[in-house]
Amino acid sequence: MLEFRILGPVEVVRDDRALPLGGAKQRALVADLALHANEVLSADRIIDDLWGEEPPETASHMLHVYVSRLRKTLGDHGGDVLVTRPPGYMLRLEPPDELDATRFEARVRAAAEIIGSRPADALEALNEALGRWRGHALEEFSDEPFAQPSAARLEELRRSAEESRVEALLALGRHDEAIVELEGLITRFPLRERLRELQMLALYRAGRQADALQAFQVARRTLADELGVDPGQGLASLEQAILRHDAALDPPPRRPAQDGAPGATRPAPRRVLAVGLAALVVGVAALLLLVLRPASEGVPTASPSPTAGIAIDRDAQLQIRWTEVPDPGGGTLGGPGDQAIQGGVEAPDALLAVGYSATRPSETLPPDYDAAVWIATGAKGWRRIDDAAFAAAGNQEATDAIALDERLVVIGADSSTGDHDAAVWTLETNARSWERVAPDAPGMRKPGEQWMRALTWTGSLLVVVGANRRPGADDDVAVWTSADGRAWNVLVSTNLQAPGDQQMTGVTTFGDLVVAGGFSDDGADRDAAIWVSRDASAWEPLVDDALGGAGDQQIASIAPAGPGLVAVGWEVLDGDQDAAVWISVDGRAWERVADPSDVFGGPEAQQMASVVAADGVIVAAGADGVGSGADGAVWTSVDGSAWRRQSPTSTDMSTFTDFGRQRIQELLVEGDHLAALGREGRGPDDDADVWIGRLRT
């Protein structure tokens, strides 16, 4: 079966594998033919569409070559799909071959016919329809004259379908879900009055009359500021109906959500705390007071425990709906140059994200990287913490953080002296300014280069792991320890100085063990690596066949989960990079998780960068693809040994697969939702980004 896809980048898929379509002109030919499937397009029309008003003299020959190559790619040697028919060509699509846009429109029409009488079935149809979108319609050709009208029409149908989906939720009495859905839609389309009406209705039905009326005032100001117009009749009438408590606005009885056959029910979605959706107007001092509230029993909350937060049926097929935290104007998470989040921590009443921000002093100079910290408290949104301690000559970056009773501790690296050195920043309880541990303090500098990668807390000791590169030598693992985050010792044990490169990239506590993961590379082959210690001073590198094998393997993150510990990362075999998972019961004996369904693989490079657990649910995240083609990727498991990939084409994942590049670097659990931290790029630079994951079965 062939599936032609234009609801995103142009693709042709056979048996779940994307076919190579060649260069831009050949891909444009696929798009042009798909837009006119089962119609004959003349050769002259195609040439005009592909080359415009001034085609080259060889255009006819080149078109013939493109058609021939495309037939070879499709395996269409008999010309059954790409038909030559005077005066040109026709893409013949008959079942089971299909066009994703055709199926999308068919399901939307079906939903429109039944949304008034069978809203649950309509919601199912709309979920299926919207799940086909992978980005913007005809993404790379949406501005081309031959594709622009169709792309605009499909995008409008998509917006209408999203509105209809909210209507179905309201008809089912699921107004809490509708409120969260509408927050994201209104951020994207602030001038669509129908969305504002649905938001007011959802808030009113949720018992939030004041918020519903406030939403009308926000809509009125937005329309006036942007268009110079008053709200339309629909919005104005709804405001009056809310003021008089019109019985017609009362919610219908809540109906159970369907899962498959009619009558099947599933648990109602849990309440969601939508971090970062309110205005970003909180003073730094107030934020810090909230963040540094003493943690219970003196134990920091950097590593979520396996029993935190999220309650879910262990045998359920986990679904996570992801939404992007709005950043109006790009002034908090974005800005000129590159910004990226590389780590974070759940502190009391807050989330802390750490990374870097790069600015370019001039076009002729390289960018200057400074450490960066962002903070979010409850529903009050994210705020960038600007502090002189994060900047200095050369480059600084933050990679991880932890919350102690008396202070926050952020770790990273600094190259202000010409090479990389360890770097630590701290913030005392009730203080307004951050302090940098002196660059020449013990543990911060050694000959060569050092990088702090990740940290954990044993209950009495901070343990940081990373790498040390001696002058003229290779990389060795390095460990730093501190009792308070301010005075540090550094250890490069002789038994850790093996031939080749070794680095620790993740660490966690597990019972009475400290367990670190990373890689060991002898120059010919790279293997995943595990080190264990009972006191963080004497370390034992484990020898386990499950950590090696053909190709290269690497661990990026390790956490208590599943049978005991779960480590995630990636493997490169024959030039193809796939995600990889290892599990252990005791931290010493490891097993590589098999992947019979190929959920760890795909046509692009796959990698897991972070893993967390909550009440038996394990979530790993990272990226699908590299560079400008990267998308965020999420995998879930209930036992660590059987995994499922969240479909990149589902509406739940659309925020990770829309235009631009996305990469998840860190996962945190906060209350009843997940926070994914990372970066997103829609142009020449990257911005820091945060996504909220709401778990539902």
Alpha-carbon distance of 346 to 303, in angstroms, equals 8
pLDDT digits (tens, 9 = 90+) for 166-211: 999 999 998 888 888 888 888 888 999 999 999 999 999 988 999 8
Lowest-confidence range among 212-226, 258-272, 446-460, 528-542?
258-272
Mean pLDDT, to the nearest integer, of 106-123?
92
The arrangement of strands across the sheet holding 2-5 comes to 17-18, 11-14, 2-5, 98-99
Tokens of residue 589, six digits: 């004996």
Torsion of CA 246, 249, 252, 256, to 10 degrees: -150
Provide the 10 A C-beta neighbour count for residue 9: 20
Tokens of residue 669, six digits: 């659990």
Enumerate the CATH 2.120.10.80 domain ranges in the chain, comma separated: 308-696
Alpha-carbon distance of 608 to 556, in angstroms, equals 7
Q: Is residue 684 pLDDT above 90, yes or no?
A: no
- CATH number of 1-168, picked from 3.40.50.1980, 3.40.50.300, 1.10.1740.10, 1.10.10.10: 1.10.10.10
- Which residue(s) pair with 341 in the sheet? 355
Residues 94-126 as b/e (b if ≥16 CB within 10 A, e otherwise) read eeebbbbbeebbebbebbeeebeebbbbbbbbb
Mean pLDDT, to the nearest integer, of 657-661?
79
Residue with tokens 């979605």: 269
Q: At 219, give phi and psi (nearest 5°).
A: -60, -40
Among 147-151, 348-352, 389-393, 656-660, the range with the most confident prediction by mean pLDDT is 147-151
Helices (H), 228-263: 233-243
Q: What is the DSSP string of 268-314?
A: PPPP---TT-S-----HHHHHHHHTSPPGGG---SS--TTSS----T
pLDDT digits (tens, 9 = 90+) for 348-371: 778 999 999 987 666 666 788 899
Alpha-carbon distance of 584 to 591, in angstroms, equals 6
pLDDT digits (tens, 9 = 90+) for 504-524: 999 999 988 999 999 999 877
Rounded to two decimals, what is the model's pTM? 0.58
Q: How confident is the model at residue 666 (pLDDT cuts 50, 70, 90)?
A: very high
Alpha-carbon distance of 21 to 25, in angstroms, equals 10
Q: Which helix (H) or strand (E) holds 186?
A: helix 175-188
CATH 1.25.40.10 fits 174-250, yes or no: yes
Mean pLDDT, to the nearest integer, of 262-281?
27
The whole-number pLDDT of residue 292 equals: 35
CATH T-level assignment (fold) for domain 308-696: Neuraminidase (2.120.10)
Q: Is residue 259 pLDDT above 50, yes or no?
A: no
Q: How confident is the model at residue 394 (pLDDT cuts 50, 70, 90)?
A: confident
Q: What is the average pLDDT value for the chain, to the nearest integer?
A: 83
Alpha-carbon distance of 222 to 434, in angstroms, equals 38
Mean pLDDT, to the nearest integer, of 219-237?
91
The whole-number pLDDT of residue 512 equals: 86
Enumerate the CATH 1.25.40.10 domain ranges in the chain, comma separated: 174-250
The whole-number pLDDT of residue 17 equals: 82
Q: Is residue 546 pLDDT above 50, yes or no?
A: yes
Alpha-carbon distance of 664 to 422, in angstroms, equals 24
Would you say how long the chain is, in residues? Answer: 697
Lowest-confidence range among 283-292, 370-379, 565-574?
283-292
The whole-number pLDDT of residue 603 equals: 85
Instruction: Find how far residue 57's CA is from the centre of its chain.
Output: 46
Mean pLDDT, to the nearest integer, of 397-407?
92
Q: Select from 160, 229, 224, 151 the least CA-distant residue to 189.
A: 160
Q: Select from 164, 160, 177, 162 the least CA-distant residue to 255.
A: 177
The whole-number pLDDT of residue 329 equals: 65
Alpha-carbon distance of 271 to 325, in angstroms, equals 17
Position 668: which residue type?
Answer: L
- Rounded to the nearest 5 degrees, what angle is found at the Cα of 530, between the Cα atoms of 526 and 532? 155
Lowest-confidence range among 309-323, 417-431, 568-582?
309-323
Alpha-carbon distance of 412 to 396, in angstroms, equals 7
Provide the 10 A C-beta neighbour count for residue 339: 25
Q: Is residue 287 pLDDT above 90, yes or no?
A: no
Reduce the DSSP state of residue 34 to 3 states and report it: helix
Mean pLDDT, to the nearest integer, of 628-646?
88
Mean pLDDT, to the nearest integer, of 370-375?
93
Q: Is residue 285 pLDDT above 70, yes or no?
A: no
The whole-number pLDDT of residue 90 equals: 92
Alpha-carbon distance of 164 to 172, in angstroms, equals 12
Q: What is the DSSP string of 209-231?
A: HHHHHHHHHHHHHHHHHHHS---
Alpha-carbon distance of 159 to 190, in angstroms, equals 12
pLDDT > 90 in the chain, percent: 47
The whole-number pLDDT of residue 200 equals: 93
Q: Is residue 55 pLDDT above 90, yes or no?
A: no
Mean pLDDT, to the nearest integer, of 332-358?
89
The whole-number pLDDT of residue 311 equals: 40
* Cβ pair 6, 138 in contact under 8 A: yes
Alpha-carbon distance of 524 to 528, in angstroms, equals 14
Reduce the DSSP state of residue 150 to 3 states and report it: helix
Q: Is residue 694 pLDDT above 50, yes or no?
A: yes
The whole-number pLDDT of residue 578 equals: 94
Alpha-carbon distance of 275 to 675, in angstroms, equals 9
